[in-house]
């Protein structure tokens, strides 16, 4: 597998509006396990997000753009509640299938919308912090610039976009490690396609430009950060 060049033309099976609904829902449910294992949000919370939340008037308002089935909000809400932080969590995803899965989680203190960033901006929404998980690699170059600019306009304080770092080792380890969780889902096929579509650190740094900074808080992950401008 040649991973030297980002494959922008791949499409993930679960993005197809006509994909198998049962496999899709099984995939969304298991994202909680997968993201807990590989996405690094526990580390991002401890090293970045917790400090930001503590500096804000309570309740802080956090938006997850492209929130999928709501598992990232679910985890972060648990971590912030453990630290006795009062946070209003909002998830937004334009896919009604993901929105329905997120609402079904019934996460205390969380609200979900079937909407994209443009709809939230049009509605005059402003949040303290905007985050996303596994969104950037889905986007074309023009979509990437639009999405990241919109996320800054929605945030008054900080924006944190987390995604996969493309690499041969990540590809090989994921191909093996995901196998027990993959039956009946799109996890293996779409996960491997995601890695092939993802950026390397210098690629994402170049694509985003100033004032974005890109780091690797945990292995095989990228975190793009910028100040809000709402």
- Give residue 2's pLDDT: 85
Confidence of residue 222 (pLDDT cuts 50, 70, 90): very high
The ranges assigned to domains in the chain are 32-166+199-227
Strands 60-65 and 127-133: parallel
Condensed to tens digits (0 to 9), the pLDDT of residues 159-168 reads 999 999 999 9
Angle at 21 between CA 132 and CA 117, to 5 degrees: 25
- End-to-end CA gap in the chain: 42
Per-residue pLDDT at 209 exceeds 90: yes
Give the confidence band of 212 by pLDDT, cuts at 50, 70, 90: very high
Mean pLDDT of 79-95: 97
Has residue 100 got a pLDDT over 90?
A: yes
> Would you call 6 exposed, middle or buried from its count of C-beta atoms within 10 A (0-12, 13-18, 19+)?
middle
The rounded distance, in Å, linking the Cα atoms of 141 and 33 is: 30
Chain position carrying tokens 């006509």: 18
Average pLDDT over residues 54-69: 97
pLDDT computed for residue 51 by the predictor: 97
Helices (H) and strands (E) counted in the chain, each on its own, are 10, 7
Both tokens of residue 5? 């060049």
27 neighbors 94 (Cβ within 8 angstroms): no
DSSP-derived 3-state class of residue 92: strand
CATH H superfamily, domain 32-166+199-227: Vaccinia Virus protein VP39 (3.40.50.150)
The pLDDT of residue 157: 98
pLDDT > 80? residue 60: yes
Mean pLDDT across the chain: 96
Is the predicted pLDDT of residue 82 greater than 80, yes or no? yes
Residue 102 confidence (pLDDT): 96
pLDDT above 70 covers what percent of the chain? 100
- Token readout for 17 is 């509006």
Query: CA–CA separation, 78 vs 64, rounded Å?
Result: 15
Helix (H, G, I), strand (E, B) or coil at 230: coil
Using pLDDT thresholds of 50, 70 and 90, give the confidence band for residue 180. very high
Dihedral (CA of 117, 123, 124, 125) sign? negative
The pLDDT score that the predictor gives to residue 1 is 77
Q: Is the model's pTM score more than 0.85? A: yes
């Amino acid at each position: 597998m040649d991973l030297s060049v980002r494959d922008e033309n791949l499409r993930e099976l679960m993005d197809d509006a006509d994909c198998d609904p049962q496999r899709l829902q099984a995939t969304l449910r298991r994202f909680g396990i997968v993201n807990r294992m590989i996405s690094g949000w526990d580390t991002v919370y401890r090293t970045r997000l917790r400090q930001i939340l503590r500096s804000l008037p309570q309740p802080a308002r956090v938006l997850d753009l492209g929130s999928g089935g709501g598992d990232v909000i679910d985890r972060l809400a648990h971590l912030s509640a453990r630290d006795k932080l009062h946070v209003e969590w909002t998830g937004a995803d334009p896919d009604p299938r993901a929105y329905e899965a997120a609402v079904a989680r019934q996460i205390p203190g969380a609200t979900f919308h079937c909407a994209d960033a443009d709809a939230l901006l049009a509605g005059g929404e402003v949040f303290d912090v905007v985050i996303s998980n596994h969104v950037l690699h889905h986007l074309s170059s023009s979509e990437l610039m639009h999405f990241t600019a919109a996320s800054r306009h929605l945030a008054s304080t900080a924006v944190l976009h987390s995604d996969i770092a493309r690499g041969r080792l990540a590809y090989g380890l994921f191909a093996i490690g995901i196998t027990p969780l993959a039956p009946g889902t799109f996890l293996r096929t779409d996960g491997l396609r995601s890695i092939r579509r993802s950026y390397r650190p210098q690629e994402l740094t170049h694509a985003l430009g100033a004032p974005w900074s890109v780091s690797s808080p945990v292995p095989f992950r990228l975190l793009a950060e910028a100040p809000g401008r709402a």
